[in-house]
Chains A and B, each alone.
Chain A
Amino acid sequence: KAGVTQTPRYLIKTRGQQVTLSCSPISGHRSVSWYQQTPGQGLQFLFEYFSETQRNKGNFPGRFSGRQFSNSRSEMNVSTLELGDSALYLCASSFGQGGPSETQYFGPGTRLLVL
């Protein structure tokens, strides 16, 4: 079974632009979560989706948004990019309801560099 896939793997953008990142969960997984990883802040939760509904959201500005499609694939969008948005963005999927005891399986990440 294929793992979580994320596209693109690398991105370079300039300040003020917007970006869309894509995540395909493991087949059969219905919950998708997104995390931002930076050297200064570590791994921070962005949002979680289940059945096309956002169930939880982290403490990020409204420039960060996401959605989930009926096939469980997910996208996240960052508008008006800032230098501080440079990070590794990780997507994770889990089987079932996505509850606290369920393992999250992580993709390789999309590395975003904002110039």
Chain B
Amino acid sequence: AQSVTQLDSHVSVSEGTPVLLRCNYSSSYSPSLFWYVQHPNKGLQLLLKYTSAATLVKGINGFEAEFKKSETSFHLTKPSAHMSDAAEYFCVVSDVGDSWGKFQFGAGTQVVVTP
């Protein structure tokens, strides 16, 4: 069975300051992990993904995430927030077995960026 927990439902940051979005996962096998972003009235866009290669994954728009198996975490970071980063972010786990082809989404973290 797979599951994912996003530890913060809302995060507020000032423009130019670091962003940290926390994600913990549970998986019976060796999961793949993704971060997606959803801007208002838009579809989901892939930021980055981990698939058992390098544990530090770089994505688009300056985002990166680190896979830590011992902590079952996959936190998303960005050194300097931009106003355009205001959106909802989803951590996703995908696994084999009964979960084949099924993305398990976290509840989402709403990011607000203040000037």
Residues of chain A touching chain B, judged by Cβ–Cβ distance below 8 Å, are 4, 31, 33, 35, 42-45, 48, 50, 55-56, 58, 90, 92, 98-101, 103-109
- Asked if residues B100 and A55 are in contact (CB atoms below 8 Å), the reply is yes
Which of chain B's residues have a CB closer than 8 A to the CB of A101? 32, 49, 51-52, 94
Inter-subunit contact A55/B101 (CB<8 Å): yes
Picked from B42, B44, B90, B100, the residue with its CB within 8 Å of the CB of A100 is B100
Residue of B with least CB distance to A55: B101
B34 contacts partner chain A, Cβ-Cβ < 8 Å: yes
Main secondary structure of the interface of A (DSSP, over half): strand
Whether B49 contacts A99 by the Cβ 8 Å rule is no
Given A42-B108, A108-B42 in contact, is the A103-B34 Cβ separation under 8 Å? yes
List 20 A-B residue pairs with CB atoms under 8 Å apart, sorted by A's residue number: A4-B43, A33-B101, A35-B103, A42-B107, A43-B105, A56-B98, A56-B100, A56-B102, A90-B44, A98-B101, A99-B96, A99-B100, A100-B31, A100-B94, A100-B95, A101-B32, A101-B49, A103-B34, A106-B45, A108-B42
Which B residue's beta carbon lies closest to that of A41? B107
B77 at the interface (CB under 8 A from A): no
B83 at the interface (CB under 8 A from A): no
